[in-house]
Structure 1
Amino acid sequence: MGREETADVDHLMKDNPLAFTPSVTFQAMLNARATHDRGLSASQHLEPVEAYLSGQQTIDWQALGLQGIADYVVRMATPDAESLAQRLPELPTTVIHSLCYCLEHQPLQQPLVVALQRCGEAAAQVGDIETLCACLRAVGNTDTSAVGDWYTALLNDSAACGPDVLAAIAGRGWGYLEDAQRLPLFCNA
């Protein structure tokens, strides 16, 4: 294959199920995790994200880099999680989505789980299913009874439990479906 034209190789790999490009968020999280685990410094985008999310600096949220958000999430310590939990209701929806898409890749601390649940419930009240699902996915990798209770409450509420909510729960919170009460609710929803 080394002698074939590049276009031919690209054509052969087009339909190969093993050849794919991960999402931009997943790439950012992979980079953040790898640099952190190897003891390397974070990207240049971390500092503005830290300043914005801590409330120390009021910058345009559109100037925040996704890599900076991923670096922040991977390096988040307890005080950062508590600060973020308090600041979460003030953040624009787009920032919440980006945060949630990064947060879903690791376990969270209790104050942040509670804040994300409140954020998701507030979003559901105004019909913002995308934010609700992002919050559901963000907490799905965290082992706490609060997440299981939230999932159970949603599964019991037929009005709130549409296909997007079911997909969010199954996508990241599948471990919570290994429950004798929750699994039948999920299957019958």
Structure 2
Amino acid sequence: MSANSINSISEFLLHAGTEYHVIDMGRRLTPTASQTFLDIENGSAYAPYPRQQHAWFGIVFWNKQASQSHYIWFIKLPLDEQGLVVAAARNHFLDIIVDALGQSIAQESEKAQTLPDNPYSFVPGQSQLAQFNAMVKNILGQPLSEHAQKVEAYIQAPQLVDWQQIPMQSVADFIHALASHSKSNNLLQAISDNQAIYADVFLNTLMEMSESITTPVELKNLMFEKLMCDDQVSVSALRGLSSDSFDQTLHDTLCELLHDERSQRVDILSVIAARHFSQMDNVLLSAFLEQVANVDNKEAHSGALFSGFFSDLVQIPQLRRQVLTLLHTNESSKVLSAAFAQLFAQARK
């Protein structure tokens, strides 16, 4: 196999005789169809969940004829100003993997798992990695981690199980498999009944690991309840409430939160931008950017914080027109108008 004989990462994997699954890891974990991934990497479709001017993917692949081993690549591909993958960068990555591997995937080489140092590979954080592993196990029908039963036992009888013996990966495995669990209704009822006596660390982990699944109503209600408790905002609950479709209750809750001084924190604003962009109609988008401007002024970032969030949101395909329209409207608040004026001034420099 030579670099000249293939034109995409997808084609490389197919030529190597592998089966594969792609998960978009940009803003939340989203399984991505092979054709969609091919369109994105070929620049014929926008990256739907860009982050930091890159498209982020986890690819798990295997060759049934060679072995039962599964390999994983975590790759990030730079995007141009329109949000399309930069073809030169994708081709450079292809050159790297072809030079390093040739046909070796079919030969069960460890090289398939460990690529040479390159600017396109990344290492997910602990939370994202745990969720990725759990999602892959669920997609492939693989067994859960050995400690997953401890999660179930702790949920049902927290007084009898040491939560400190439960790894994050086991919580992720449990929550991603909950929908198909034969006792899911009983377990969800137990979560509702026992929430007050769970360790805070466990409950926060449970909520955080839920951010990339279709959350059951019982668990979603718990997270709404925890979101604004103890006069602080629970970042774990905010992450867990993430949804890839519009939810009126969630939208209204976020609007309320963004009009509260408790949301004037960069970590909270970052989670809203990363996980809740699907809720951003004009009302919520304006409230969000105004709160960003408030924090920018409060912490004396001289427009840098506002510019960063604006640049992040404008690259999301489903928000781009909304963000640009808001930029040119005359109906913004004084705070937001001043932030836009500063943004224009910085652009002219």
Normalising by the smaller structure, the TM-score range is 0.7 to 0.9
Residue 88 of structure 1: aligned partner:
195
Taking only the aligned residue pairs, the percentage that are identical comes to: 23
Structure 1 portions without partners, runs of 5+: 3-9
**Number of residue-to-residue matches in the alignment:** 172
One-letter code of the match for 1:111? E
More displaced, 160-169 or 77-86? 77-86
Deviation at 1:142, TM superposition (A): 6.1
One-letter code of the match for 2:289? C
Query: For the structure 1 residues 63 and 34, does the alpha-carbon distance in structure 2 shift closer, same or farther, using more than 3 Å as the test?
Result: same
Deviation at 1:90, TM superposition (A): 2.4
Larger Rg: 2
Structure 2 portions without partners, runs of 5+: 1-98, 101-113, 292-349
Residue 211 of structure 2: aligned partner:
104
Deviation per residue, 1:17-37 (Å, 9 max, x gap): 412111222222222222222
Deviation at 1:150, TM superposition (A): 1.2
Deviation at 1:169, TM superposition (A): 1.0
Contact preservation (8 Å) 2:130, 2:169: yes
One-letter code of the match for 2:267? D
Residue 121 of structure 1: aligned partner:
228
More strand per residue: 1 or 2? 2
Deviation per residue, 1:21-74 (Å, 9 max, x gap): 112222222222222222222111110011001227621110012121011111
Task: State the superposition RMSD in angstroms.
Answer: 2.3
CA distance, structure 2, for counterparts of residue 82 and residue 18 of structure 1: 44
Contact preservation (8 Å) 2:223, 2:237: yes
CA distance, structure 1, for counterparts of residue 193 and residue 226 of structure 2: 11
CA distance, structure 2, for counterparts of residue 39 and residue 87 of structure 1: 30
More helix per residue: 1 or 2? 1
Contact preservation (8 Å) 2:158, 2:197: no
Deviation at 1:145, TM superposition (A): 2.2
Query: For the structure 1 residues 95 and 56, does the alpha-carbon distance in structure 2 shift closer, same or farther, using more than 3 Å as the test?
Result: closer
1:44 aligns with 2:146: yes
Deviation at 1:185, TM superposition (A): 0.7
Query: For the structure 1 residues 98 and 149, does the alpha-carbon distance in structure 2 shift closer, same or farther, using more than 3 Å as the test?
Result: same
CA distance, structure 2, for counterparts of residue 111 and residue 149 of structure 1: 19
CA distance, structure 2, for counterparts of residue 88 and residue 148 of structure 1: 25
Spell out the pairing of 1:1-150 with structure 2 (5 A cutoff). 13=117, 16-55=118-157, 58-77=160-179, 78-79=184-185, 80-123=187-230, 125=231, 127=232, 129=233, 132-141=234-243, 143=245, 144-150=247-253
Residue 152 of structure 1: aligned partner:
255
Contact preservation (8 Å) 2:158, 2:198: no
**Larger relative contact order (Cα-Cα within 8 Å, sequence gap ≥ 6):** 1
Contact preservation (8 Å) 1:103, 1:138: yes
2:284 to 178, 182, 186: 182
Contact preservation (8 Å) 2:263, 2:269: yes
Deviation at 1:108, TM superposition (A): 0.7
